[in-house]
Structure 1
Amino acid sequence: MSLKLPARIQKPRKHGITAIMDLGLPLGYLEGYLKDYNQFIDIAKFGIGSAYIVPFLKEKVKLYKDFGIEVCFGGTLFEKFFNQTSIDRYCDYLVSFGVDWIEVSAGTLSIDINHRIEIIGSVREKYRHFTVVGEVGSKSPKAADLMTDTQWIDEIKRLKDAGCAYVIIEARATGTGGIFQEDGTLRLNIFDAIVESYDSKDLIFEAPRHVNQSYFINRFGANVNLGNIVPNEILIVESLRQGLRSETFFNTLA
Structure 2
Amino acid sequence: MNYVLKSIPSRTVKPRNSGFTMAMDKGLSLREVEDFIEVSGDYVDIVKLGWATSFVTKKLREKIDIYRAADIPVYFGGTLFEAFVIRNQFDDYVRLLDEYQLSFAEVSDGSITLDHGQKCRYIETLAKQVTVLSEVGSKDAAKIIPPYKWIEQMRKELDAGAWKVIGEAREGGTVGLFRDSGEVRQGLVEEILTQIPEEQIIWEAPQKEQQVWFIKLLGSNVNLGNIAPNEIIPLETLRLGLRGDTFDFFLNL
TM-score of the two chains, using structure 1 as the length reference: 0.94
User: After superposition, what is the alpha-carbon deviation per residue over 1:135-182, rounded to whole angstroms, capped at 9, x for unaligned?
Assistant: 110010111x2x111100100100111111000000010001111122
Instruction: Give distance in 1, aligned partners of 2:84 and 2:218.
Output: 35
Identify which of 233, 236, 250 aligns with 1:235.
233
Map of 1:162 onto structure 2: 160
Instruction: Give distance in 1, aligned partners of 2:115 and 2:190.
Output: 24
State the shift of 1:26 in Å. 0.9
Map of 1:3 onto structure 2: 5
* Structure 2 residue ranges without an equivalent (≥5): none
Map of 1:226 onto structure 2: 224
User: After superposition, what is the alpha-carbon deviation per residue over 1:190-242, rounded to whole angstroms, capped at 9, x for unaligned?
Assistant: 11100121221100000000000011111111111000001011110011011
1:107 and 2:94 aligned: no
* Structure 1 residue ranges without an equivalent (≥5): none
Paired letter, 1:6: P
User: After superposition, what is the alpha-carbon deviation per residue over 1:28-57, rounded to whole angstroms, capped at 9, x for unaligned?
Assistant: 121122122210101100112101111111
Local SS of the residue matching 1:197: coil
Identify which of 226, 236, 243 aligns with 1:245.
243
Map of 2:122 onto structure 1: 119
TM-score of the two chains, using structure 2 as the length reference: 0.95
State the shift of 1:72 in Å. 1.1
Local SS of the residue matching 1:21: strand
CA contact 1:51–1:57 (8 Å) conserved in 2: yes
Local SS of the residue matching 2:142: helix
Map of 2:33 onto structure 1: 30
User: After superposition, what is the alpha-carbon deviation per residue over 1:107-144, rounded to whole angstroms, capped at 9, x for unaligned?
Assistant: 1001121110111122234x2xx00111110010111x
The 5-angstrom pairing of residues 1-254 of structure 1 reads 2-4=4-6, 5-125=8-128, 127=129, 130-143=130-143, 145=144, 147-252=145-250
Paired letter, 2:70: F
> Which consecutive segments of 4 or more residues in structure 1 shift more than 3 A?
none
Instruction: Give distance in 2, aligned partners of 1:251 and 1:95.
Output: 45
Instruction: Give distance in 2, aligned partners of 1:191 and 1:113.
Output: 21
Number of residues of Structure 1 aligned to a counterpart in Structure 2? 249
Paired letter, 1:71: V
Instruction: Give distance in 2, aligned partners of 1:64 and 1:230.
Output: 16
State the shift of 1:251 in Å. 2.3
Local SS of the residue matching 2:106: strand
